[in-house]
């Protein structure tokens, strides 16, 4: 019997307007931590279960029917990723890794020595960008520039700062959701000066893909588990960037032949250069199902973008009305961070969890910007997904309002 039959529950009062794809949520459960990982629709869960229970074989290595089915579905997922971004396999390859952090490190720590003069990033980066840009600059023996971002998310730079630069920035902040609004200008100006642009697209792929479509950036790194798939990392890179790498992280799946002291890399499959060893076949297949699902979902009869936009406004206005709360956001966003100067955010998160309200507390892997630079205490973060409803938001803001009044 499939999991969907075993675990699907009847919707409760809060779920009356929730799409049935998330019918496994218990009545009263409010999950507002999609910026960490989105919930998975039932079709994605079923795809993963189907792989493990009906054709659980290795891809790329076997000739029997199960393996051939795996190969076909993995190829379909690669094409679906490119299709989602409006990119072509003629110029781009799709590689699968552990997560966004892993993909960024694979690229940054295999860049050729002597080609670049600096590494450029911004203050509002997640640690997945901030930390490997520190170590990559050390490895390359170059300076590292940390730049400001405007209120609208644009990177603030002088063209000379992009000379032979490795630019690594997020497309959407995991603190307040601001977007890299000048991405196309940044890529153009960087390329004109002999540099490359690598984008942390983890927060953008779920609800801000329009910013990334048909991009000329050299690579995008993102996580399937932030866009309704299973836990998986994805790298979409230009063939030229992959061909320039000085590979040091190698293994089976990347090679056509091996000798005592040397090896030959696989030809004709650039994506394999970032895929040493056995891959997460079921998770890759589940990503393909997530992309299919994203193409057809209409929560409440709205497009995903319109649904998230409406909920973002409701959440922003609801949190702004909570007494004693300070918002970091200046405008509605699917990701909103707040804090109460007189209260401990971790304590608030625990109290909210007693009401089945699940939110993130802390610095959200953005310690430099929030703690060192702004000097803020730990925060609360509310982040939306396509499972979210107006009832979820009202329950969360109502519970927080009662909590703040009770603690005052």
- Which tens digits make up the pLDDT trace of 6-38? 233 333 333 335 678 999 999 999 999 999 999
Same domain, 28 and 77: no
Place of tokens 């790194």: 221
Per-residue pLDDT of 58-71, as tens digits, reads 999 999 999 999 99
Same domain, 175 and 317: no
4 lies in some domain: no
7 lies in some domain: no
- Final residue belonging to a domain, choices 267, 295, 323: 295
CATH code where residue 320 lies = 3.90.1150.10
Which among 157, 222, 233, 221 is positioned nearest to 195, based on CA atoms? Answer: 157
Query: Is 5 a residue whose pLDDT tops 80?
Result: no
Same domain, 215 and 324: no
Same domain, 291 and 306: no
- Mean pLDDT over 137-166 rounds to 98
Burial of 265 (0-12, 13-18, 19+ CB in 10 A): middle
pLDDT at 3: 33
Which among 278, 285, 367, 293 is positioned nearest to 98, based on CA atoms? Answer: 278
Same domain, 100 and 180: yes
Per-residue pLDDT of 219-246, as tens digits, reads 999 999 999 999 999 999 999 999 999 9
Strands 326-327 and 335-339: antiparallel
> What sign results for the dihedral spanned by CA atoms 211, 213, 218, 223?
positive
201 lies in some domain: yes
- Mean pLDDT over 354-381 rounds to 97
- How many structural domains compose the chain? 2
- Domain of residue 363 covers 20-39+300-407
- Residue 408 — very low, low, confident or very high, per pLDDT cuts 50/70/90? confident
Per-residue pLDDT of 72-98, as tens digits, reads 999 999 999 999 999 999 999 999 999
328 lies in some domain: yes
Per-residue pLDDT of 287-331, as tens digits, reads 999 999 999 999 989 999 999 999 999 999 999 999 999 999 999
pLDDT at 17: 54
Same domain, 137 and 243: yes
Rounded Cα gap, residues 77 and 98, in angstroms? 16
Same domain, 103 and 122: yes
261 lies in some domain: yes
Position with higher pLDDT, 18 vs 390 = 390
- Mean pLDDT over 202-230 rounds to 97
Same domain, 223 and 126: yes
pLDDT at 389: 96
Place of tokens 């229970």: 53
pLDDT at 7: 30
Rounded Cα gap, residues 118 and 115, in angstroms? 10
Which among 8, 47, 46, 13 is positioned nearest to 25, based on CA atoms? Answer: 8
- Final residue belonging to a domain, choices 245, 262, 295: 295
Which residues, at least 6 apart from 4, have a Cβ–Cβ distance to it below 8 Å? 42, 45, 46
Mean residue pLDDT of the chain comes to: 94
205 lies in some domain: yes
User: From residue 37, how far is each of 123, 160, 181 by CA, in Å?
Assistant: 23, 37, 24
């Amino acid at each position: 019997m499939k999991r969907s039959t075993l675990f699907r529950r009847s919707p409760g009062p809060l779920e009356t307007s929730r799409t049935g794809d998330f019918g496994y949520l218990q009545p009263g459960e409010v999950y507002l931590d999609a910026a960490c990982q989105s919930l998975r629709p039932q079709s994605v869960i079923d795809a993963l279960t189907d792989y493990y229970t009906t054709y659980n074989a290795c891809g790329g290595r076997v000739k029997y029917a199960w393996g051939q089915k795996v190969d076909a579905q993995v190829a379909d997922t690669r094409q679906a990723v490119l299709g989602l971004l409006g990119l072509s396999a003629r110029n781009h390859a799709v590689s699968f890794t552990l997560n966004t952090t892993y993909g960024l490190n694979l690229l940054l720590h295999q860049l050729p020595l002597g080609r670049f003069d600096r590494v450029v990033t911004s203050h509002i980066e997640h640690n997945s960008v901030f930390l490997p840009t520190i170590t990559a600059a050390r490895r390359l023996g170059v300076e590292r520039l940390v730049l400001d971002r405007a209120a609208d998310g644009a990177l603030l730079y002088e063209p000379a700062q992009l000379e032979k630069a490795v630019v690594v920035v997020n497309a959407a902040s995991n603190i307040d959701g601001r977007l890299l609004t000048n991405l196309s200008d940044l890529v153009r100006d960087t390329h004109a000066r002999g540099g490359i642009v690598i984008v942390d697209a983890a927060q953008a792929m779920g609800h801000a893909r329009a910013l990334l479509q048909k991009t000329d950036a050299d690579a995008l790194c993102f996580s399937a588990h932030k866009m309704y798939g299973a836990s998986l990392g994805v790298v979409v890179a230009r063939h030229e960037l992959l061909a320039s790498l000085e590979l040091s992280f190698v293994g089976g799946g990347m090679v056509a032949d091996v000798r005592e002291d040397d090896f030959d890399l696989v030809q004709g499959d650039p994506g394999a250069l970032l895929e040493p060893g056995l891959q997460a076949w079921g998770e890759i297949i589940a990503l393909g199902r997530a992309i299919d699902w994203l193409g057809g979902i209409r929560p409440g009869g709205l497009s995903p973008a319109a649904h998230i936009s409406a909920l973002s406004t409701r959440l922003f206005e609801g949190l702004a009305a909570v007494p004693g709360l300070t918002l970091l956001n200046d405008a509605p966003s699917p990701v909103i961070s707040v804090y109460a100067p007189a209260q401990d955010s971790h304590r608030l998160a625990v109290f909210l969890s007693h009401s089945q309200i699940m939110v993130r507390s802390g610095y959200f892997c953005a310690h430099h910007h929030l703690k060192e630079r702004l000097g803020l205490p730990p925060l609360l973060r509310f982040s939306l997904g396509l499972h979210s409803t107006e009832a979820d938001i009202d329950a969360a803001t109502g519970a927080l309002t009662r909590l703040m009044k009770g603690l005052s």
